[in-house]
Amino acid sequence: PETGKVVLEVEAIRKEFGGLVAVNDISFTLRAGEIMGLIGPNGAGKSTTFNLITGVLEPTSGLVRFQGERLDKLPAREISRLGVGRTFQHVQLLPTMTVLENVALGAHLRRNVGVVAASLHADRRIEAELLHEAAVQLERVGLGDYLYEQAGNLALGQQRILEIARALAADPVLLLLDEPAAGLRYKEKQELAAVLNQLRAEGMSILLVEHDMDFVMKLTDHLVVMDFGTKIAEGTPEYVQAHPAVLEAYLGG
């Protein structure tokens, strides 16, 4: 999509778990070629918001539109096929498979031929295509030297970038990344930021949940801040950083 065009619209989305309102009528808009941050203290509802957008959870109320199309009633696989890629808060790689095979499974998803590892070998021609696509995505994120390494042997920072490559293999328009910088060393964070900046320059839209304020402030165009399920502030990093409610949520406890 054209830069600046609305890619994702979240409208008054709500999720209740029993008596707990985990996400309380949250709204925001994400535009093409933008990196948007979703931040807030632990338990604020960030991962739940991701799960509502990606169809892992069904909202109690509210709606999600992606490129004009309603997502909020669709199953996760359909949402992924429409062009919404994601990574999870906890690394979800197959550690004994190679880097290349892990990403080939992501490409496999888009073809809608099942996700079972065994079936990856079912058709030689498709397998070769998937492996080729996987290698292209791994080159794109700078992991071209690690194709035949076991995924579990990579450093955490590389595993996070590998997960992004796997999401890219399904050819997304929008990437949702849940705490990609968590636990990374300073240099790994810089490498990750470089990959995300490059993807943005290529026109990718990215929605990022992140704890590391420094990382978020340098990287994002636009931020939504949540606390106890509610949106407490929204705007540029500079604006949000100085917002009293944000300072209160982070420092006031």
Stretch that binds ligand ADP, among 2-10, 15-23, 28-36, 58-66 (CB under 6 A): 15-23
x-or-dash string of contact with ligand ADP, 31-60, rule CB under 6 A: ---------x-xxxxxxx------------
86 binds ligand ADP (CB under 6 A): no
87 binds ligand ADP (CB under 6 A): no
> At CA 148, angle to CA 175 and CA 198, rounded to 5?
30
E-assigned strands of 43-143? 61-66, 69-70, 84-87
Closest by alpha carbon to 205, among 107, 84, 115? 84
Residue number, 43 or 142, with CB nearest to ligand ADP: 43
Which of the listed partners (Mg ion, ligand ADP, none) does 43 bind, with a CB threshold of 5 to 8 Å by partner kind?
ligand ADP
Residue number, 43 or 152, with CB nearest to ligand ADP: 43
- What distance lies between CA 36 and its chain's CA centroid? 11
Q: Please select the residue that binds Mg ion; options are 47, 54, 87, 159, rule is CB under 5 A.
A: 47
Least distance (Å) from Mg ion to the CB of residue 178?
A: 6
Order of strands, sheet of 205-209, starting from the edge strand that comes earlier in the sequence: 84-87, 174-178, 205-209, 35-39, 222-227, 230-235
180 binds ligand ADP (CB under 6 A): no
Residue number, 26 or 100, with CB nearest to ligand ADP: 26
19 binds ligand ADP (CB under 6 A): no
Closest by alpha carbon to 25, among 16, 43, 12, 8? 12
Estimate the crossing angle of helix 99-111 against helix 124-140, to 10 degrees: 110
Which of the listed partners (ligand ADP, Mg ion, none) does 45 bind, with a CB threshold of 5 to 8 Å by partner kind?
ligand ADP
Quick count: other Cβ atoms within 10 Å of Cβ 173?
17
Q: Please select the residue that binds ligand ADP; options are 22, 64, 71, 107, rule is CB under 6 A.
A: 22
Q: Under a CB-based contact definition with an 8 Å cutoff, are residues 220 and 36 in contact?
A: yes
What are the φ and ψ backbone dihedral angles of 17, each rounded to 5 degrees? -115, 100
Least distance (Å) from ligand ADP to the CB of residue 9?
A: 20
Residue number, 1 or 41, with CB nearest to Mg ion: 41
Closest by alpha carbon to 175, among 22, 16, 37? 37
The one-letter amino acid at 46? K
Residue number, 46 or 200, with CB nearest to Mg ion: 46
Stretch that binds Mg ion, among 40-48, 56-64, 113-121, 211-219 (CB under 5 A): 40-48
54 binds Mg ion (CB under 5 A): no
The one-letter amino acid at 48? T
Chain contacts with ligand ADP (rule: CB under 6 A) = 17, 20, 22, 40, 42-48
Chain contacts with Mg ion (rule: CB under 5 A) = 46-47, 89
